[in-house]
Amino acid sequence: MISLIIKLSTVLKPFHKVTYLLALLIVTNIAYQLLFSTEHVQIEDKEAMLSLLALAWLALVNLMLHVFTRVPENKENKQPLFTRIKNKLHQWLYSILFFVFIALSISLIILSFKMLRL
């Protein structure tokens, strides 16, 4: 499963600057809504909340693009003991990051469904 995330990250890596541009546009939109709004913000108006949700999705995609493109490969060569221990530790830490990423994705999907009331 982690190999699928690694492949997806390497395919989408050229688009990481697009995530920054979209995040800048969303933050500008939120600032405009909050600072220069002429009418009072109503409880039913959810445009700012949906913008924050989109910003959270962009942050998750950007995290995926930066973390999972640097996963070290599994090498089975005859290496010194400390190098093998270091490689196993790196793989273990990336596995933990993978499970944290999956948990964040699932919680963001649940939040998206609740926000969109599906």
Give the number of C-alpha atoms closer than 13 A to the C-alpha of residue 70, restricted to the C-beta side.
9
How do residues 55-105 score in pLDDT, each as one tens digit?
999 999 998 898 888 777 766 667 788 888 888 898 889 889 999 999 999
Predicted model pTM: 0.77
Assign residue 6 a region (left: φ > 0; alpha: ψ between -120 and 50; beta: otherwise). alpha
* Number of folded domains that form the chain: 1
pLDDT digits (tens, 9 = 90+) for 16-49: 899 999 999 999 988 888 787 766 655 446 777 8
Structural domain boundaries, residue 70: 2-116
Q: How far apart are CA 59 and CA 29, in angstroms?
A: 16
